[in-house]
């Protein structure tokens, strides 16, 4: 699976004949650059979009997000299980996050969740290869205490941070930067990449989380 960060919390996950895009509407409102993107499936995690339909059209994004392998883009904003192109996408009731399974590879996209999240809901996610998590704290997202608990529960192989303070951003107050995050948690295994090609990893005891900024 190839993963790219288009900006803010919007990621493009491509595998086989399916491309998944996360929260393009949030990117369009962030003040960051939003280039035309292709997708077969779009996931929305914003609370005010729960269960809504035709979001791309209603929000004027049909020219920004265009179909890749299919005639139309499939939009998911409600809880359920969706099998599309050999990929299983799940969202539980009262949960903002999505679990994306391709064969034995598991990606968890935590979405645009605020500090009201019950972290116990992340306990039973199994072996997670990649966790996409907003780290900016501030008024929009989880605080560091809850992030620490989630990382302990999930223990992902790779952490892809998003939703942090950066130049050009026009939303969020008092957001933490990526340097704030790294310093607070003391991560050592950190790097930056333009994209990530990820494959399932063998189980390891006492593994160190790899933090990758895309």
Query: Given a cut of 90, is residue 200 above it in pLDDT?
Result: no
Four-point Cα dihedral 34, 36, 41, 46, nearest 10: 20
Query: For position 204, what pLDDT does the model report?
Result: 59
pLDDT of residue 191: 95
Q: Please name the residues in contact with 198: beta carbons below 8 A apart, sequence gap of 6 or more.
A: 1, 2, 3, 105, 107, 129, 130, 158
d(CA 56, CA 62): 5
How far apart (Å, rounded) are the C-alpha atoms in residues 88 and 102?
7
pLDDT, greater one: 204 or 4: 4
Q: Residue 172 above 80 pLDDT?
A: no
Structure tokens at 135: 């780290």
Q: pLDDT digits over 62-72, tens only?
A: 999 999 888 89
In the chain, where are the structural domains located?
Answer: 2-213
pLDDT digits (tens, 9 = 90+) for 11-51: 999 998 899 999 999 999 999 999 999 999 999 999 899 99
Cβ atoms 112, 26 nearer than 8 A: yes
Predicted local distance difference test score (pLDDT) of residue 193: 96
Q: Which fold has domain 2-213?
A: Metallo-beta-lactamase; Chain A (3.60.15)
Spatial distance between the Cα atoms of 130 and 132, rounded to a whole number of angstroms: 7
pLDDT digits (tens, 9 = 90+) for 128-145: 999 999 999 877 899 999
Top-confidence residue, 175 or 139: 175
Structure confidence at residue 199 (pLDDT): 85
**Any idea which residue has 């035709």 for tokens?**
54
Lowest-pLDDT range, 93-102, 171-180, 197-206? Answer: 197-206
When pLDDT is cut at 50, 70 and 90, the band that residue 203 belongs to is: low
42: which strand partners? 21, 75
Q: What is the pLDDT of residue 171?
A: 82
Lowest-pLDDT choice from 7-11, 88-92, 127-131, 167-171: 167-171
For 65-119, how does the pLDDT look when each residue is reduced to its tens digit (9 = 90+)? 999 888 899 999 999 999 999 999 999 988 889 999 998 899 999 998 888 888 8
pLDDT mean over 160-176:
90
Helix (H, G, I), strand (E, B) or coil at 62: coil
């Amino acid at each position: 699976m190839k993963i790219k960060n288009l900006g803010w919390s919007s990621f493009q996950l491509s595998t086989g004949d399916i491309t998944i895009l996360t929260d393009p509407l949030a990117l369009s409102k962030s003040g960051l650059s939003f280039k035309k993107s292709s997708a077969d499936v779009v996931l929305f995690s914003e609370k005010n979009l729960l269960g809504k339909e035709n979001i791309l059209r209603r929000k004027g994004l049909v020219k920004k997000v265009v179909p890749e392998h299919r005639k139309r883009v499939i939009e998911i904003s409600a809880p359920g299980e969706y099998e599309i192109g050999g990929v299983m996408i799940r969202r539980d009731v009262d949960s903002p996050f999505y679990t994306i399974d391709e064969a034995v590879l598991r990606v968890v996209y935590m979405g645009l969740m605020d500090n009201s999240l019950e972290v116990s809901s992340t306990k039973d996610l199994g072996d997670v290869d990649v966790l996409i998590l907003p780290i900016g704290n501030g008024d929009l997202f989880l605080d560091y205490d809850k992030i620490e608990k989630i990382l302990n529960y999930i223990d992902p192989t790779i952490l892809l941070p998003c939703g942090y303070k950066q130049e050009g951003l026009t939303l969020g107050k008092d957001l933490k930067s990526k340097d704030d995050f790294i310093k607070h948690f003391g991560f050592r295994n950190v790097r930056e990449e333009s994209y990530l090609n990820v494959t399932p990893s063998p189980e390891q005891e006492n593994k160190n989380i790899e933090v990758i900024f895309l």
